[in-house]
């Protein structure tokens, strides 16, 4: 399948399939392998692969538009795909990737396989965005590296073909960076621990590594710990923006359901649809304002990134904070207008509420962004 002609054309079909199965996937809390297979076979895995390499060459604006649409349909799947997109966007834009490894991952994506995600969070460390050395260790030997460690919240873990594992070396002069690990190698194990309030079908399980043998040239961008203190301008901008776009998609889905509910719900005491009440119209107008602000923020930042091929990670964090908090406020306002109907599991609004709350947990978290802004102002 030609990625350049089919990646975008497939989105509408994928959205319909995801919407039809999202409630079931949420109920069972299992990763939707059938839908992920559809995505892989559609060519979408190569959406952000450059055109010169045979991919669709999506820019950041196009990528966030796709993720917002998928976020409306099933944010769990959108999250898995966003992590894959982020890695390929970094490969194209950031230094540090060995050419032969970048080429292998690109070839996989063009062939409709090669799901990849960065595994960074650990039980003791938490998120590395707050500092600290990973407990996962890569030990050097004559054959390459031996990797041992424990990662949590590994989105899409059970379907990934590649893990990009954040680890430290055992060298006297410790270095920190990523190690590319092929799924299924001896010593790798996925433990199904994910049982969450929201994004239940994201399969964000634990990944265990026990003396996993890795070729010497699969170490990527190893640096001394102090060199990682400043956020990477590429990854530090892409991650907040793409994550924020997904939660904006959830808010849009909640708004769309609410509009239909208000137009069709006619209490006998009113004798007319709820949509005829001015107080309801005003509340819905407030929802529209928040979504319009989100759209402006996401689009303007994406356009700036595309123009410069980089951006300020702190600006991206501000966008993520504003967008996710607006998205949460939209869904909560929709719940207030829908009442008990909104909390019923036969309607999607309660699922949208659980999913959108996860936006507060995704890095960068609000307190980190506010502290960074405060320090910037003081300095």
> Mean of the pLDDT values across residues 373-379?
94
Those residues with Cβ within 8 angstroms of residue 29's Cβ, 6 or more apart along the chain or in another chain: 194, 195, 196, 200, 201
First CA to last CA distance, the chain: 53
Domain ranges of the chain: 3-114, 119-225, 235-378
Which pLDDT belongs to residue 11? 87
DSSP states of 250-299 as a string? HHHHHHHHHHHHHHH---TTTTS-GGG-HHHHHHHHHHHHHHHHHHHHHH
Tens digits of residue pLDDT in 255-287: 999 999 999 999 988 999 999 999 999 999 999
What pLDDT was estimated at residue 6? 58
pLDDT tens digit sequence for 140-168 = 998 899 999 999 999 999 999 999 999 99
Q: For the chain, give the mean pLDDT.
A: 93
What whole-number percentage of the chain has pLDDT above 70? 97
DSSP class of 176: E
Q: pLDDT (tens digit, 9 = 90+) per residue, 164-201? A: 999 999 999 999 999 999 999 999 999 999 999 999 99
Judged against a pLDDT cut of 50, whether residue 3 lies above it is answered with: no
- In order of 217, 293, 336, 343, 346, the CA distances from 289 in angstroms are 50, 6, 17, 24, 28
97: Cα separation from own chain's centroid: 21
Q: Cα angle at 254 between 250 and 260, to 5 degrees? A: 145
CATH number given to 235-378: 1.20.140.10
**CATH class held by domain 3-114:** mainly alpha
Per-residue model confidence (pLDDT) at position 1: 40
Architecture of domain 119-225: Beta Barrel (2.40)
Q: Is the pLDDT of residue 2 over 70?
A: no
């Amino acid at each position: 399948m030609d990625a350049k002609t089919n990646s975008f054309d497939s989105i509408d079909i994928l959205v319909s399939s995801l919407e039809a199965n999202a409630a079931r996937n949420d109920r069972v809390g299992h990763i939707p392998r059938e839908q992920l297979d559809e995505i892989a076979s559609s060519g979408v895995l190569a959406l952000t692969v450059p055109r010169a390499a045979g991919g669709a060459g999506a820019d950041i604006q196009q990528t966030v538009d796709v993720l917002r649409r998928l976020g409306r349909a099933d944010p769990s799947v959108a999250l898995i795909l966003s992590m894959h997109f982020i890695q390929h966007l970094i490969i194209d834009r950031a230094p540090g990737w060995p050419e032969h490894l970048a080429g292998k991952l690109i070839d996989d994506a063009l062939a409709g396989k090669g799901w990849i995600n960065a595994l960074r969070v650990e039980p003791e460390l938490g998120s590395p965005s707050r500092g600290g050395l990973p407990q996962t260790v890569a030990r050097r030997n004559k054959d390459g590296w031996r990797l041992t460690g424990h990662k949590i919240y590994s989105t899409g873990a059970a379907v990934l073909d590649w893990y990009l594992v954040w680890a430290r070396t055992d060298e006297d002069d410790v270095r920190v960076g990523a190690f590319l690990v092929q799924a299924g190698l001896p010593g790798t194990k996925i433990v199904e621990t994910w049982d969450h309030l929201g994004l239940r079908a994201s399969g964000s399980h634990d990944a265990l590594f026990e003396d996993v043998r890795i070729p010497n040239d699969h170490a990527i961008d190893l640096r001394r710990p102090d060199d990682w203190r400043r956020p990477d301008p590429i990854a530090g901008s892409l991650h907040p923006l793409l994550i924020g776009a997904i939660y904006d998609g959830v808010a849009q889905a909640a708004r769309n359901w609410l509009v239909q509910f208000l137009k069709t719900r006619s209490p006998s005491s009113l004798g007319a649809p709820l949509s005829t009440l001015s107080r309801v119209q005003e509340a819905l107008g407030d929802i529209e304002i928040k979504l319009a602000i989100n759209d402006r923020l996401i689009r303007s930042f994406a356009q700036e990134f595309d123009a410069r091929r980089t951006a300020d990670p702190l600006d991206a964090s501000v966008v993520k904070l504003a967008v996710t908090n607006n998205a949460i406020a939209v869904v909560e306002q929709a719940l207030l207008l829908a009442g008990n109907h909104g909390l019923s599991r036969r309607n999607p609004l309660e699922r949208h509420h659980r999913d959108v709350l996860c936006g507060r947990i995704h890095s960068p978290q609000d307190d980190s962004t506010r502290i960074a802004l405060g320090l910037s102002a003081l300095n």
